[in-house]
Amino acid sequence: MRKTGIREARRVARALVFRLGITAPEHIRIEAIAKRLGLRIVVTKLDGAEAQLVRTGDDAMIMVSDRIKDPAARRFSIAHELGHFVLGHPSMPPHMLSATLRMKRGSEYERDYEAEANAFASELLMPYSLVRKLCEVSPMSLREPWLIAEMFSVSILTSTIRVTEISPERCAAVFSAKRHVVWFAPSETFTREIERGRRIDPHSVAWDFYTKGAIDDREQPVPADAWFDTSVDVEIIEHSTASTEHGTVLSLLWIPERVAAPLGMAA
């Protein structure tokens, strides 16, 4: 049910992209799209949430926190709430907006409204028809996500996840903080698991940031077992970038064809 809901969210977003005649990044004016679909954008104080879809009778609005200063974050927040609206998700009544709500992650047999809204937003802001060729390159590195982030006015985190969704290459995005993995987003062909909470390995490039406060942001070979459990002595490619402001590292891992078979990732 969960995967089916996410696939449907992407399909609905693609249909909207087609209906709106979006054929270039500059056509994706998210606030204009929201207005065209009958929603008002209201910037206000929100406790906890960055944005919230609110329905009162026949009126619908997207309330956006005045704490959001980054244009890319604002665009994604609006697109996310637009996803809730278009997909017909239940919305929170106005009197609950002051509460900080946390969504519980369900099983694969339950719908995940937040994941569906994220999938919708990603597809709307970075349409498959416009980014596919940028994602189908080899070797894979953070160069492609940086390019997409700039072209489509999204964050590097958002664009990197999008690349791994589309890329046929064996690649994965890993986001870490405080020397531990926060989240992991693999491509369909990257069949190894990197557990949330896994400690960053001293043999990874990401480790340098947590010990030296700086990072060499070039693609570099690292032992495969620096990132996932394997007894095979081969190297994969890591391309990492760090945020000194937030104390985090984004890593893009790529499995070259020559080491795919030893790792059990051959097609």
Tens digits of residue pLDDT in 216-250: 989 999 999 999 999 999 999 999 999 999 999 99
- How many angstroms separate the CA atoms of 89 and 213, rounded? 43
The token pair at 245 is: 């402001």
Assign 3-state DSSP to the chain and report helix, strand, coil percentages, each to 5.
Answer: 40, 20, 40
pLDDT of res. 2: 80
pLDDT of res. 148: 98
Q: What percent of the chain lies above the pLDDT cut of 70?
A: 92
pTM score, whole prediction: 0.90
Q: What is the architecture of the domain spanning 2-99+107-125? A: Orthogonal Bundle (1.10)
Q: Is 98 helix (H, G, I), strand (E, B) or coil?
A: coil
Neighbours of 103 (CB within 10 A): 9
Could you tell me where the beta strands, DSSP code E, fall in 99-194? 171-177, 180-186
CATH 1.10.10 range(s) for the chain read 2-99+107-125
Q: Is 8 helix (H, G, I), strand (E, B) or coil?
A: helix
- Which CATH number is 141-260's, of 3.40.50, 2.30.30, 1.10.287, 3.30.450? 3.30.450
Distances (CA, A) of 196 to 64, 216, 234: 30, 24, 23
Looking at residue 185, its amino acid is: A
Lowest mean pLDDT among 80-94, 166-180, 233-247: 80-94
- How many angstroms separate the CA atoms of 87 and 217, rounded? 39
Task: Find the Cα–Cα–Cα–Cα dihedral 67, 80, 143, 166, rounded to 10°.
Answer: 170
Q: Which one, of 180, 181, 157, 118, lies nearest residue 243 by Cα? A: 157
Q: Which one, of 163, 158, 159, 113, lies nearest residue 136 by Cα? A: 163
Q: Is 27 helix (H, G, I), strand (E, B) or coil?
A: helix
With a cut of 70, say whether residue 210 has pLDDT above it: yes
Average pLDDT over residues 93-120: 62
CATH 3.30.450 range(s) for the chain read 141-260
Surface-to-core class of residue 19, CB atoms within 10 Å of its CB (0-12 exposed, 13-18 middle, 19+ buried):
exposed
The answer to whether 131 and 162 are in contact (CB under 8 A) is yes
